[in-house]
Structures are given as structure tokens and as C-alpha cells.
Structure 1
Amino acid sequence: MSSENAAIPGDLRTKIISEPEVILEDRDLMRALIAANEKIMGGNIVDLRGIAMERLESRLERLEETHRHVIAAAYENLAGTNMIHRAVLKMLDPTGFDDFLKNLTTEISDILRLDALRLVLESPVANEDPAARGLGDTLLVVDPGFVEAYLTQGRNVPVRQVTLRQVQPESDTIYGERSDWIRSEACLRLDFGKGRLPGMLVLGAEDPHQFKPTQGTDLLTFFAGVFERAMRRWLA
């Protein structure tokens, strides 16, 4: 059949013949062609190739969706890594303990997008000096055993270095007036070395989904490790 007698205009027909992959890559067009072919064959004929193509297309869509999720997770992980690295560098800047504490609730808190940050230190003399319980908005001195009790909430569970969860009812000891609007937290248990009581760094967020038990903890574990080493300088 000549291009002049064809139902398709000559220039379009020539374009399709020269570049057939254009049609093959167009899903909507391929569906229309398959549907037209099935209509011509009639309802009594089963087109196995068409069925196979539909299944392959379904698999391809699932693979593409998985690919998008993997890419999104990779970008999110990269962004989180960069955030932690920036916070670590800022943590190493101060040359005095007062500046170190101030830096926690200003620059580091901003970098990590936190709404509250509290450093908790256990001390055997916390009861003897009530004034020591609240040293500013950053440091809280508590009795020995407080960290484990806060992390486990009275349950017989192992104490992990990083605990991610929604805020507990007992959190007013940590956040004070802010406990009314802090909705999720990351609790980093701190080991300051042999012979020293443990501590805890608590990161609070108004967003209830910022810290969830299903999230990975590798980056926060690294951050806690660096923080422990930085604190040992001031506890020495």
C-alpha cells in the first residue's frame, strides 16, 4: 500500500517507520494498539502475548516505584549525614564548657532542627544541692539511676544507646514547660568512661514523626559517640 492510499498521512507514516521505538516507548499508545488488536481478533481468542505484556508492564511499574523509593531514601540519608557532620564540627568549636553548653542549644540545635535539647548528668550529690538540678536551660543534674529509669520507663528491657520514641508522660522533668508541646524525642545514652556515672542527651521535637522507633539510628549513634568524647574533656 502506498503512503498516498494509507489512512495515516505520509509524513507521519514515514516518521513511524524510521523511528518505531517512539511508539514502543509510549505506554498509552501501546495500550491503544493492543486494545485495537484484541478488538479485531474477537472475544473468543486469547492473546497470550498481550497478557504477558500486561504482566511485564505491571512488574515494570513496581520496579520503577521501588527505584523511586530507593532514590528518595538515599537522598534523605545523604542529607542526614551532612546534617550530623555539620553538627559534629560545630560541637568541636567551643574552647570552654559554658560556650559548649550554649552552643548545644543554639547552633547545634538549629542544625539538627530541634525544638528542645537537654544534657542530663547523673551525680551522687544532686540531692544535696537542689540548685544543681537546673543549671540553665541546657544542663540537668539528676540522681544516679535516673537515665536508665527514663529510658526503660520501668520496663524490663535492655538499655540502648539510642532510643527514638514519642514523648512519654514523665517527660516534664526533662523539658519543663516545653513538655506540653514536645511530641517526639531521641534519647542518646552517654558513657563517659570507667568509674563515671552515665549521662544522656535528649533531643526533642514538636513534630511527632521526627523521631520514630522504625528509623535507623546509625547517624545518631555516631553523634553520641563524638559527644561522649567531647564531654570527657570537660569531665577530666
Structure 2
Amino acid sequence: MSSLEEPASEGIFVLDTLADGAPGARQATMGHRVFRAIKQAIVRGQLVPGHPISEAELARQLGVSRQPVREAFIKLSEMGLVEIRPQRGTFVQLISRREVENARFIREAIEVAVARRAAEVANGESVRPLFALVEEQDACGDRPDQGRFLALDDALHRAIALLADCEHAWRVVEDLKVQMDRVRFLAISDATPVDTIVAQHRDMVTAIARNDPDAAADAVRTHMREILNSLPVVAASNRDVFVP
């Protein structure tokens, strides 16, 4: 940050990712927990694209020193989520359609390969948790809590990667998909029907359960390309948060 007076962060947000009870919180370092909290706030739109964010204010809200927030800003800048402008401050990046489309292209290639392997090794016991996650998503209803619904979404994709013994592939996807996540958080309310997502997930899991790699790959491709349908709609209705 510059020596100039820092702009106030846009809005007040409440995050539970620093709490000891949060999943994985005890294992994570404080720096990682701060990074994860700020990243989540950006993905969820609690820190508004195009607006300044204050190192001092975020440190105060999170109850930490400024050092882990400063380190988080550097990581978030590398991910394309914030822009650090010398002598001006740090700003949340607008969403780039091009970056979203590039991330989707790479993610599809990885997840298709993972689904194929999962279909090759799946059995009745290993797919049971996958079906359970799909049903849990379905039970969220037509207007679900966005955070919970997308957490279940991620849990399903991670579970498929674990079934395929491809946990590292999921870690790559997790970093890659952050720009997609920003659109996904908008798309649930603006463009993509929840029942469409649930149906696509059910198709993926059913193909894996049937040990059909080709069908699993096709189901993942269909699912990964859904964002190409919703992205223009979301961008048109949220012009202020997208790169012109």
C-alpha cells in the first residue's frame, strides 16, 4: 500500500473462515486463512469489483495485523483478483469475460480426464457419497443459499477427483476456477436454473456409477459449457462489475 491515506473498504462483510470451527481452519496458517477470507469476499461480491480495498480496514475487520493482509493482496494480485496501483492503493479487479472463458477451457480438459478415470475405477461403495451430494444440492430448492449451494458444488467435483485418485488435479482446478466462481455466484440468481445444475451433476455421477468413461466425459463437457450460456446474460445484467 502507498503512504497516502488509504481508501476505506467497500462495505462491511462478515466472514467465518478465520473461526476455529471452520472446516480446515485449525490446519491452515493464519496467513492462508486471511487470504482465503478475502478471496471469498471477492468471489461473493462482498468486496465490489472496481472499488478500493484498504489493508488497514480489512486487518481491523479480520482481527489480524496488516502483514497477512498485505501478503494476501500480493497472492490475490497474482490470481488476477486485485490490482495493486503504486501510490494509489489496491482495487478489486473487474471480471474479465476472456479470463473466465480461458479458465473454463482449461478446467474442462482437466475435469473430463478426471471423470474418465473415476468412471474406470468406481464401484457401488465409492459413488454413494457422490449421489448423496447431488441429493443434498437438490434439497436446497430453487432459490438456494448461494454460499451453501456452491460449497456443495465444489464438494462434488472434489469428491470425483478423490475417487479418481486425482487430488492434485483438483488443487489445480481450485486455483484456476476462481474467475469462474465470481460468475457462478452471480449466475445462480441471474442466469442458470438450479435444477439444470443439479440435473447435470446427476448425469455425471450416474455415468461414473455405470463405469462409462465416454458418458462421464460427455456429461462433464455439457456441465462445463453451461457457463458459456450464462456468461453473456450475467455480463449484460452486471455491466458495472465486468471489464467493458
Band the TM-score falls in, shorter-chain normalisation: under 0.3
Q: Normalization by structure 1: what TM-score?
A: 0.24
Structure (1 or 2) with the greater strand fraction:
1
Q: Which has the higher contact order (CA 8 A, sep 6+)?
A: 2
Structure 1 or 2: more helix by fraction = 2
